Amino acid sequence: MKSDKIKNIAVLTSGGDAPGMNAAIRAVVRSCAFYEINCIGVFRGLQGLIEGDFKVLGPRDVKYIVSKGGTILKSARSKEFVTAEGRAKAYENLKKHQIDGLIIIGGDGSFTGGLVFSKEYDIPVIGIPGTIDNDIVGTSHTIGFDTALNTAIDAIDKIRDTATSHKRLFFVEVMGRDAGHIALNTGIGAGAEEILIPEENIGLPKLLEKLKRSKASGKSSCIVVVSEGGKIGKNVFELSEYVEENLPEYDVRVSVLGHMQRGGSPSCFDRVLASRLGVKAVELLMLGKTQLMVGLINDQVDTTPLEKAIKGETSIDEELIRISDILSI
């Protein structure tokens, strides 16, 4: 499958970090080595393109990183890349290093920048979805999502122990500013009594009604999983205060899991997914493909146009919402 046209491929990670990004970097680097292509790592994302922060990477440079969270290439937001002048600097650096294709591991913001850059300078670009929020069209799972779920469930299991011991109601906030995939899945997996997500605003009166019903059914403790983008109340602390004022029989506590969900060793699923997508990204560039995102569709690695991945909106799984309602009885 060796291509005479592709001699140098650059890879970068951009936006928020996600467990499994290192596994994807490793897959790209070693695939390049397998196909006798030079791989250049770009440090600090799109900003690194502008500053020329490059390093040639070989198979031994990525040893032992498959199990590490974060990204060895670092990540950074780049306001400069939004400007035509910034992208012109990036293009000059790519020309200087004779780079024939670019692989971007990140989310929709990173893909947007990569797509504009590709169209502007005819640089082949392939995207690999790396974000714990799982909010990108064209893949059932983004790299890092599965690990974030396991991290959140492990934390909620521990919180459940203290909630049960003290007969408390805990509001547990998980990440997901615009999408409730983490909250919905971890809520079901951890047996939460209620799950609050941005896609479904049940309203404060209905929440109170459900909590009263839980109490009346004999539940002495309660876990409510809240997506950080939930639309009930301004934030989880105001929400807890409201419930405490209206349901004084509950001893209410708040736990915000925060950025711990982005860290830690990636799950086996995320390591395998990242490996599959990394290999495919390199092979697509070798075939002359561009402006595509690789993803997992029906458990098969497939492609989606970057433009569709960026502009599309993921939908919440209505079946999971139905299941959570049934199981919260």
- Supply the residues annotated as catalytic: 133
With contact defined as beta carbons under 8 Å apart, do 156 and 193 qualify?
no
State both tokens at 285: 């560039």
- The DSSP H or E segment spanning 150 is helix 145-166
d(CA 94, CA 7): 13
| β-pair partners for 15 | none
Q: Identify each DSSP E strand in the chain by its residue range.
A: 8-13, 38-42, 54-57, 101-106, 125-129, 168-174, 194-196, 222-227, 251-256, 292-297, 300-305
Instruction: Assess contact for 33 and 162: CB atoms under 8 A.
Output: no
**Tokens at residue 20, please?**
């499994």
| Among 142, 151, 157, 174, residue whose Cα is nearest residue 258 | 174
Residue type at position 208: L
Distances (CA, A) of 24 to 9, 70, 71: 14, 11, 10
- Which candidate, 18, 13, 31, 27, places its Cα nearest to that of 272? 27
Tokens of 272: 């395998």
CA distance 61 to 137: 32
Residue 41, burial from CB neighbour count under 10 angstroms (0-12, 13-18, 19+): buried
User: What is the distance between the alpha carbons of residues 217 and 42, in angstroms, rounded to a whole number?
Assistant: 57
